[in-house]
């Protein structure tokens, strides 16, 4: 523990505060992560849609529910990306309230769409939830898609 404290003091002396924050920062990383998450949702959605078409009794109803969920997942990724990009330029207090406000908006949109799926019988609500979970799958796939993007960028 003593070594950690000493090292942190050395770092404080070596760098200005702005240098510590921006060291190793790549402003394009957020764009790559967004694309990787969208790609992950697309891959998951394609595989799941094939399973739904093969195994389902009511293919169109089930597929419609799943696609609504996948659309919600894509909306959530887009909205989170936009919210983060805007909040980075704000003060800490403003950014915090902005992030909370937009989290509530995402949650309400998700809830309203799921209620609409049930009320208007647009599709299977369980498969709608599975489509939304595609966002979680994409997050877990992101390290893999990141490695693939880096290999493609290097050319091999």
- Output the six-digit token pair for 60: 């169109």
- Residue 97 belongs to what domain range? 27-154
Q: At a CB cut-off of 8 Å and minimum separation 6, what does 87 contact?
A: 94, 95, 98, 99
Q: How many domains does the chain have?
A: 1
Total-model pTM: 0.79
Residue 64 is assigned to a structural domain of this protein: yes
Tens digit of each residue's pLDDT, the chain (156 residues)? 556 666 665 655 555 554 444 555 565 556 788 999 999 999 999 999 999 999 999 999 999 999 999 999 999 999 999 999 999 989 999 999 999 999 999 999 999 999 999 999 999 999 999 999 999 999 999 998 888 888 888 875
19 inside domain: no
- Report residue 64: phi and psi, to 5°: -60, -45
* CA distance to 56, 86, 95, per residue, from 102 (Å): 36, 11, 10
| 1 within domain boundaries | no
| Domain membership flag for residue 86 | yes
- Looking at the domain assignment, is residue 16 inside a domain? no
Contact between residue 40 and residue 137 where contact means Cβ atoms under 8 Å apart: yes
Residue 124 lies in a domain: yes
Domain membership flag for residue 147:
yes
Q: Is residue 102 part of a domain?
A: yes
């Amino acid at each position: 523990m003593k070594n950690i404290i000493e090292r942190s003091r050395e770092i404080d002396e070596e760098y200005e505060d702005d240098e510590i924050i921006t060291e190793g920062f790549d402003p394009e990383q957020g764009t790559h992560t967004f694309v990787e998450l969208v790609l992950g949702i697309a891959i998951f959605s394609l595989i799941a849609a094939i399973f739904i078409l093969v195994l389902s009794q009511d293919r169109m109803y089930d597929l419609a529910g799943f696609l609504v969920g996948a659309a919600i997942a894509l909306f959530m990724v887009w909205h989170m990306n936009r919210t983060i990009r805007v909040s980075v330029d704000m003060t800490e207090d403003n950014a915090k309230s902005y992030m909370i406000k937009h989290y509530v908006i995402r949650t309400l949109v998700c809830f309203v769409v799921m209620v609409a799926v049930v009320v208007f019988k647009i599709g299977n609500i369980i498969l709608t939830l599975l489509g939304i979970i595609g966002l979680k799958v994409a997050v877990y796939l992101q390290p893999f898609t990141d490695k693939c993007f880096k290999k493609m960028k290097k050319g091999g």
